[in-house]
């Protein structure tokens, strides 16, 4: 009975894990590909942990564990780790972040107990309570530390010579699975079958998967709700766009177009606002190309699609003047009136009080996992304080930084993959800045950080070889 209380395994979660693992092996891919594909299943848990407040680890944690074991099992694991700390500053930064997160979750809720209010998920919803240690301190910090360890594991794999092709396959597997789940979810609802993906939704948190808004089905895919699907889509879309612009990949273009259509029909305010933000760099790029009087084939295609869409809208307005009324109603409901809704006001209150809690704790924060906000930057500031926020900002900077040696010496495919993975994270952070309640940037962030820093390190000297002291080992 005690074992059942500590952990309740999910049979369907195990089945999905086996399917992804076998799929990776069938295509002769590494465990990294299976890990990336598992990120598309945001509502599929491997087990439930009643002892930690009902926390349900998602299936990606299984593949993170397998990836770490495969790295640790290597005969040169300790030597590789020592060289990594010597040659990769990102290793020290991620280690500092993990240590700081653990210290904050253990000590800050006790030092500042009762001195400020926090928002804690309960069985009755999110409740405002006085600061005190909660189960979230353990579970949320555990996920964050797992992300940091995964960063190290992926970095060591890249040091040993895992090709950039495996990284590309992994990200495309993630995008494909996410897109396919969105198409299946929408098709099932439009066919009157309801939520056909319900069997794989084994996580313990609330599922809002059969809701409608202004007569439109909300698309959740393999996530728990429409905003979750839109958030992941905002990470997938920049990956597809950047990789397509760099390589002309038809697969990336097709996946991106399908995802764009799904986000438009997802009825998610997160998706609509996120698309508007992500369109800014696209428009600036087009304006720059027009100003230089040199348009690439990709620029021409984008302009042609915009023109076709514009004229199609005009034609429909002339023929059926009230055709867009349902869409305008949807936009008003999901975006224009969002902040006036009880949900929007509640989330705004969370953010305001979260910033206040940072002040109440003298800039130290309430501790990792102690509370929840409705914006990733605010969650970072309120839970990790000023020092932790500076470390996190430095990690984001290291992710976005591109060295001159890499630009000059890396082949176009490698540059395309690294740029696309970086774009995926930035798109994901845009979504997290609107909805995320935890300071954990997620596994995608740590995998991309490893790819960006370690791959670029291969070109640290002008001869385009690995940094001195780093050798390639058989994978």
pLDDT digits (tens, 9 = 90+) for 221-272: 889 888 899 999 999 999 999 999 999 999 999 999 999 999 988 888 888 8
What is the pLDDT at residue 174? 97
What is the pLDDT at residue 3? 44
Give the confidence band of 323 by pLDDT, cuts at 50, 70, 90. Answer: low
What is the pLDDT at residue 146? 96
Are 453 and 396 contacting, i.e. CB atoms less than 8 angstroms apart? no
- Give the separation between CA 265 and CA 152, rounded to whole angstroms: 38
- Which of the pair, 128 or 18, is modelled with greater confidence? 18
Q: Which residue from 18, 25, 26, 27 is spatially nearest to 59, judged by alpha carbons?
A: 18
pLDDT at residue 299 above 70? Answer: yes
Are 379 and 119 contacting, i.e. CB atoms less than 8 angstroms apart? no
Give the confidence band of 391 by pLDDT, cuts at 50, 70, 90. Answer: very high
What is the pLDDT at residue 1? 41
- Which of the pair, 127 or 333, is modelled with greater confidence? 127
Continuous segment of H or E residues that includes residue 103: helix 89-111
Put residue 436 in one of left, alpha, beta given phi > 0 → left and psi -120 to 50 → alpha: beta
pLDDT at residue 462 above 60? Answer: no
- Which of the pair, 366 or 160, is modelled with greater confidence? 366
Are 35 and 67 contacting, i.e. CB atoms less than 8 angstroms apart? yes
In the predicted model, what is the mean pLDDT of residues 419-438? 93
pLDDT at residue 4 above 70? Answer: no
Half-sphere exposure for 252 (CA within 13 Å, toward CB): 23
What is the pLDDT at residue 97? 97
Percent of the chain with pLDDT over 70: 89
User: At 215, phi and psi to the nearest 5?
Assistant: 85, 0
Give the SS3 label for residue 53. Answer: coil
Are 433 and 375 contacting, i.e. CB atoms less than 8 angstroms apart? yes
Burial-class residue 271 by CB neighbours within 10 Å (0-12, 13-18, 19+): buried
What average pLDDT does the chain have? 87
What is the pLDDT at residue 60? 95
Sign of the four-CA dihedral 166, 223, 375, 58 = negative
What is the pLDDT at residue 56? 84
Give the SS3 label for residue 408. Answer: helix
Sign of the four-CA dihedral 434, 439, 445, 449 = positive
Q: Which residue from 218, 284, 261, 204 is spatially nearest to 13, judged by alpha carbons?
A: 204
Of 48-52, 234-238, 390-394, the poorest mean pLDDT is in: 48-52
Token pair 């620029």 is found at 299
- Give the separation between CA 23 and CA 30, rounded to whole angstroms: 10
Q: Give the residues across from 119 on adjacent strands.
A: 128
Are 450 and 167 contacting, i.e. CB atoms less than 8 angstroms apart? no
Percent of the chain with pLDDT over 90: 53
Give residue 133's Cα distance to chain centre: 27
Separation in Å, CA 328 to CA 84, 265, 266: 54, 12, 14
pLDDT at residue 441 above 90? Answer: yes
* 160, two tokens: 């040993």
In the predicted model, what is the mean pLDDT of residues 461-472? 42
Give the confidence band of 154 by pLDDT, cuts at 50, 70, 90. Answer: very high
pLDDT at residue 466 above 70? Answer: no
Half-sphere exposure for 475 (CA within 13 Å, toward CB): 16
pLDDT at residue 77 above 80? Answer: yes
Continuous segment of H or E residues that includes residue 84: helix 77-87
In the predicted model, what is the mean pLDDT of residues 295-314? 80
Are 58 and 203 contacting, i.e. CB atoms less than 8 angstroms apart? yes
What is the pLDDT at residue 6? 67
What is the pLDDT at residue 464? 40
Taking the model in full, what pTM does it have?
0.89
* 420, two tokens: 């696309």
* 202, two tokens: 């084994």
What is the pLDDT at residue 473? 36
What is the pLDDT at residue 159? 87
CB contact set of 136 (below 8 Å; sequence gap of 6+): 53, 120, 121, 369, 370, 371, 372
What is the pLDDT at residue 390? 97
In the predicted model, what is the mean pLDDT of residues 340-358? 82
* 142, two tokens: 């555990």
In the predicted model, what is the mean pLDDT of residues 266-295? 86
Give the confidence band of 328 by pLDDT, cuts at 50, 70, 90. Answer: low
pLDDT at residue 470 above 50? Answer: no
What is the pLDDT at residue 327? 64
In the predicted model, what is the mean pLDDT of residues 199-223? 80
- Give the separation between CA 188 and CA 176, rounded to whole angstroms: 18
Neighbours of 475 (CB within 10 A): 12
- Give the separation between CA 277 and CA 274, rounded to whole angstroms: 5
Q: What angle do CA 364, 98, 426 make, to 5 degrees?
A: 90
Are 427 and 376 contacting, i.e. CB atoms less than 8 angstroms apart? no
Give residue 43's Cα distance to chain centre: 14
What is the pLDDT at residue 333? 65
Give 163-189 pLDDT, tens digit per residue. 899 999 999 999 999 999 999 999 999
- Give the separation between CA 341 and CA 389, rounded to whole angstroms: 30
């Amino acid at each position: 009975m005690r074992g059942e209380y500590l952990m309740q395994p999910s049979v369907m979660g195990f089945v999905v894990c086996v399917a992804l693992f076998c799929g990776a092996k069938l295509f002769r891919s590494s465990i990294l590909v299976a890990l990336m594909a598992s990120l598309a299943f945001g509502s599929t848990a491997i087990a439930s942990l009643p002892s930690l407040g009902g926390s349900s680890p998602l299936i990606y944690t299984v593949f993170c564990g397998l990836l770490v074991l495969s790295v640790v099992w290597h005969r040169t694991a300790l030597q590789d780790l020592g060289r990594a700390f010597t040659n990769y500053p990102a290793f020290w930064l991620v280690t500092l972040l993990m240590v700081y997160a653990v210290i904050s979750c253990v000590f800050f809720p006790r030092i500042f107990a009762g001195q400020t209010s926090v928002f804690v998920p309960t069985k009755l919803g999110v409740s405002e309570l006085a600061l005190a240690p909660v189960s979230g301190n353990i579970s949320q910090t555990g996920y964050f530390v797992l992300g940091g360890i995964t960063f190290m594991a992926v970095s060591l794999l890249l040091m040993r010579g895992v090709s950039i092709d495996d990284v590309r396959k992994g990200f495309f597997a993630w995008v494909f699975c996410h897109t396919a789940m969105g198409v299946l979810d929408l098709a099932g609802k439009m066919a009157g079958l309801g939520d056909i993906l319900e069997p794989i939704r084994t996580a313990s948190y609330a599922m809002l998967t059969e809701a409608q808004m202004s007569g439109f089905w909300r698309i959740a895919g393999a996530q728990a709700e429409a905003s979750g699907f839109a958030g992941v889509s905002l990470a997938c879309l920049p990956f597809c766009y950047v990789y397509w612009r760099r390589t002309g990949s038809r697969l990336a273009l097709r996946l991106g177009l399908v995802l764009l259509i799904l986000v438009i029909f997802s009825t998610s305010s997160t998706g609509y606002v996120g698309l508007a933000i992500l369109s800014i760099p696209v428009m600036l790029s087009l304006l720059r190309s027009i100003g230089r009087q040199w348009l690439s084939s990709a620029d021409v295609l984008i302009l042609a699609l915009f023109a076709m869409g514009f004229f199609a809208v005009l034609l429909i307005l002339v023929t059926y003047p009230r055709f867009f009324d349902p869409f305008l109603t949807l936009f008003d409901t999901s975006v224009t009136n969002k902040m006036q809704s009880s949900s929007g006001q509640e989330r705004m209150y969370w953010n305001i009080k979260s910033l206040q809690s940072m002040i109440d704790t003298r800039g130290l924060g309430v501790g990792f996992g102690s509370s929840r906000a409705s914006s990733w930057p605010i969650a970072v500031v309120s839970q990790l304080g000023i020092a932790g926020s500076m470390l996190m900002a430095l990690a984001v900077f290291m992710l976005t930084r591109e060295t001159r040696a890499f630009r000059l010496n890396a082949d176009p495919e490698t540059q395309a993959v690294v740029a696309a993975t970086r774009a995926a994270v930035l798109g994901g952070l845009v979504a997290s800045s609107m909805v995320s309640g935890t300071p954990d940037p997620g596994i995608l962030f740590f995998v991309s950080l490893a790819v960006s820093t370690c791959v670029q390190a291969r070109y640290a000297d002008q001869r385009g070889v690995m940094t001195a002291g780093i050798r390639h080992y058989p994978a």
